[in-house]
Structure 1
Amino acid sequence: MDQHWTIQRVPAADGAEIVLHSTGAGPGLVVVHGGGVTIEMYRRTARRLADRFTVHLYNRRGRADAAARAEPYDGEQDIDDLAALLAHTGAGNVIGHSGGGFIALRAAARRLPIARLALYDAAVQVDGIGSYRWLPAARQAADAGDIARAMAIVGAGVHTESASSRLPLALRIAMCKLFLRTPIGRTMGELLPTTLDETALIHRFDGPPGQWAGVQAEVLLASGADGPPYWPPTNEALAAVMPHARTLVVPRANHDALNRAPKHLIDALAEFFLSPVSSEPTHP
């Protein structure tokens, strides 16, 4: 049976509309999607949580049915949009994935009314863990219109655990050209300049974990056991400074596990969000 979705148009702080896709019943849960993709990658996750939560998906600016993104990109609009959605839905639960995890963490640091925050492979750089040395080369290729080359550079830089990251660049470019012929590949290719802007912002926030110590929400810092090796130590560093945080390494999971929504990950997220909040977040 098809999942029932409701569509709402929520006013943003700048007068634009945020298109909210919601399904399920129960406590509200807002998903902040990763870079390079749209909410279509998260509908399976929403369906598998919908028996316990009202799950809210929305495309971040510059994607699909979302309004245009302000330039130059500084992430502030993303935080404002999340604030508008939390106010509209009354949800206190947030999931952030990859680049969306960075946005969600910044929002929690601003003391938005987030009671529980689950981050999966959040793209947060701490003390240089996880190198971004590949970013200038990827930007140069993208600016030159060579999206396959840029995508090959990004893929090897992000997915250091993958055997394909150690293949010769020419072979990786050929693989990316094939990938760009697929629907998800075309989407990721079209959004690659946006993704690189977000990556540059994440890199500018590199620094000691103490900059995130003010996050008062209950935080689950999750990563995949089969994913890039830099996320577990990053999460441990963050958990050491946040007053209500813990880490979780998910077995048999890599970076896209949140999209694939295996039962053991969905159950772990549900358990986290349904557990009692030990401390109410403080707000300005």
Structure 2
Amino acid sequence: MTLQLKTTHSKDGTKIAYYQIGSGPGLIILHGAMQAGLSHSELATHLSQSFTCYLPDRRGRNKSGPTGEDYSTRKEVQDVESIHVSTGAKYIFGVSSGAFITLKAALAAPSSHIERIAVFEPPWLPESEREATMDWVRRYEEEIGRGEVAEALTTAMLGTQMGPPLFHSKYFPRVLLVWLSKMMLGGEQSANRKSKKGNPPREDSMTPPSFQELASTLQNDFKVGAEMFGEQNLETLAAVKTETLVLGGSRSPAYLRRAVRELEKVIPHARRVELEGVSHVVTCNKAQGGKPEIIARELQHFFLLGNHAKAPKSN
């Protein structure tokens, strides 16, 4: 099976591109920060024998239209609804910030539109941690506004506790981490130039966007997260009536492991599964450190059988 590029339009007219693969019930896979639809192409391939998978480029990324004015989670929810209208898909899997959008979509959509949802590590924080988080978010925004992409990505990786392990070692000063980020971006640009040599860009290209291209979109993901920070916002999810699978990795940062525990407590029909030995990148393609076959096994079991069936055994 091969991926097919398709488009629809959201309520405000923004073009939303998505990739389609497989056959069976429709499943929307909604990516997180520093990702685009193709970031989960291997996960979709694993699921394609059982589901028709739809991989949107969230607004502002890759083949979709611009973020637009007055950006909010509500706009992203409308984008998801436009894909449902175009495809009839009633299952959604949301990753990280995409998990928040998935939960909000479950709150907003008629019950006939969404039957089951699964979410992976939405980055929820308690109100007591909002101010410290927004401090480094503001620094990121200032750096990206000045075009200091390596500096901004370094700030984001330190703030979110993501990136290579050495980024979180006390032995590496920030100036060295910025230099490493510049090397990473430079290597990526060099590889992209080589791959494009003699091959003019095509509208239907299956090449995912670069980190350089995605860096500014982190602003959207931070806004999605900030709209959900705090205990009061978490409690609104008690109104999610959809059967929900909450997934997390045992090697993810502590704040993400806490978030999935809190979600399980507040969502009435939720079941939590902690995946042993994996981290926040497990949903991604293998080139990005993912183990998509592990996630695919959990999703296939849940979306076909629900939370009350016996859980699958790991190989």
TM-score, normalised by the number of residues in structure 1: 0.89
Greater displacement, 123-132 / 64-73: 123-132
CA distance 1:196–1:15, change in 2 (3 Å): closer
Q: Could you list the runs of 5+ residues in structure 2 that have no partner in the other structure?
A: 193-207, 285-289, 309-315
CA contact (8 A) 1:24 1:47 kept: yes
In the alignment, is residue 233 of structure 1 matched against residue 238 of structure 2?
no
> Deviation at 1:222?
0.9
Q: Report if the CA contact (8 A) 2:98-2:122 is conserved.
A: yes
Sort the Cα spacing of 1:116 and 1:37 in 2 relative to 1 into closer, same or farther, 3 A. same
Aligned partner of 1:165 in structure 2 is 168
- Using the TM superposition, give the Cα deviation of residue 75 of structure 1 relative to its aligned residue in structure 2, in angstroms: 2.3
CA distance in 1, matches of 2:303, 2:209: 34
Once the two structures are superposed, residues 102-139 of structure 1 have per-residue CA deviations (whole angstroms, 9 ceiling, x without a partner) of 11111112235221111112233344468624212212
Change (3 A) 1:277 1:225: closer
Aligned pairs (5 A) from 1:192-211? 192-208=215-231, 209-211=234-236
Give the TM-score taking structure 2 as reference length: 0.80
* 8 A contact 1:70–1:77 mirrored in 2: no
SS in 1 for 2:283: helix
* Equivalent position of 1:62 in the other structure: 60
Cα 1:225–1:88 change in 2 (3 A) is same
- Match of 1:21, as an amino acid? Y
Which of 134, 143, 161 is the aligned partner of 1:141?
143
Evaluate the alpha carbon distance shift between residue 199 and residue 239 of structure 1 in structure 2; reply closer, same or farther with a 3 A threshold. Answer: same
Amino acid at match of 1:154: A
2:301 counterpart of 1:271: yes
Query: Deviations along 1:235-271, whole A, 9 cap, x unmatched?
Result: 1112111110121111121111101244332211111
- How far has the Cα of 1:48 moved from its partner? 0.8
Alignment partner of 1:216 is 2:237: no
Alpha-carbon contact 1:111-1:215 (below 8 Å) kept: no
User: What is the number of equivalent residue pairs in this alignment?
Assistant: 276
Q: Which amino acid aligns with 1:155?
A: M
% identical equivalent positions: 25
Q: Give the Cα–Cα distance (whole angstroms) in 1 for the partners of residues 25 and 74 of structure 2.
A: 26
* Residue 75 of structure 2 corresponds to residue 77 of structure 1: yes
Distance in 1 (alpha carbons) for counterparts of 2:33 and 2:84: 21
2:93 is equivalent to residue 95 of structure 1: yes
- Please give the alpha-carbon distance, in whole angstroms, between the structure 2 residues aligned to 1:159 and 1:33: 18
Q: Is the 8 A contact 2:92 2:102 kept in 1?
A: yes
RMSD: 2.3
Secondary structure at the aligned position of 2:210 is classed as helix
Q: SS where residue 205 of structure 1 aligns?
A: coil
Query: Any unmatched runs of 5+ in structure 1?
Result: 279-284
Query: SS where residue 134 of structure 1 aligns?
Result: helix
Give the secondary-structure state (helix, strand or coil) at the position aligned to 1:141.
Answer: helix
Match of 2:203 in 1: none
Q: Is the 8 A contact 1:128 1:206 kept in 2?
A: no
| Equivalence map 1:8-19=2 (5 Å) | 8-19=6-17
Q: 1:99-138 residue pairs with structure 2 within 5 A? A: 99-112=97-110, 113-128=113-128, 132=133, 133-138=135-140
What's the counterpart of residue 205 of structure 2? none
Alpha-carbon distance in structure 1 between the residues aligned to 2:4 and 2:151: 39
Can you list the C-alpha shifts for 1:51-76, whole angstroms capped at 9, x where unaligned?
Answer: 11111111111111101222232122
Partner of 1:281: none
Q: Residue 184 of structure 2 aligns with which residue?
A: 179
* 2:236 match: secondary structure: helix
> In the alignment, is the contact (CA less than 8 A) between 1:48 and 1:261 conserved in 2?
no
Note the C-alpha offset of 1:160: 6.1
Residue identity in the other structure for 2:215: L
Query: Which is further off, 38-47 or 117-126?
Result: 117-126
